[in-house]
Amino acid sequence: MFETGLWTRSLPTFAAGTLLAGTGIDLACRRGVGVAQRLADPRRRADLLSTYFLFAYTGTIVPTLPLGLLDQTMNQDVAPLILAVAVVATTLAGALSRPINAIT
């Protein structure tokens, strides 16, 4: 939806995509924090959670850097599309390579 909003220049679609993506990130982050708290030794929980948030914030920053570089070298419509395809491909590759009996 986010990408569709960019291509069609539709503010409502762009806003809906942003809200949908934000909701997905929030749900994933909440689940990750819950798992980290459950698995962590109570005396080391703060260390584990701070590391979790460090990697989570890094994960939100890193895609922005290539987007900025791509935006400088090509069309502003193509750069986000390339990034979106890369994110989807990485997500699918990670999901497909995940063991069937993974810890949930």
- Cα–Cα dist 77/8, whole Å: 10
Contact, 11 vs 5, CB < 8 A? yes
Look at residue 16 in the predicted model and tell me its pLDDT: 92
DSSP per-residue letters across 83-97: HHHHHHHHHHHHHHT
Q: What tokens does 43 get?
A: 């005396």
Domain residue extents for the chain: 1-57, 62-104
Q: In this predicted model, which residue has the larger pLDDT, 98 or 21?
A: 21
pLDDT in tens, 7-28: 788 889 989 988 988 898 888 8
Mean pLDDT on 23-43: 86
Overall pTM > 0.85: no
Distances (CA, A) of 74 to 61, 69, 85: 21, 9, 16
CA-nearest of 61, 87, 77 to 9 is: 77
Look at residue 32 in the predicted model and tell me its pLDDT: 85
Q: In this predicted model, which residue has the larger pLDDT, 92 or 1?
A: 92
- Residue 104: is its pLDDT beyond 60? no
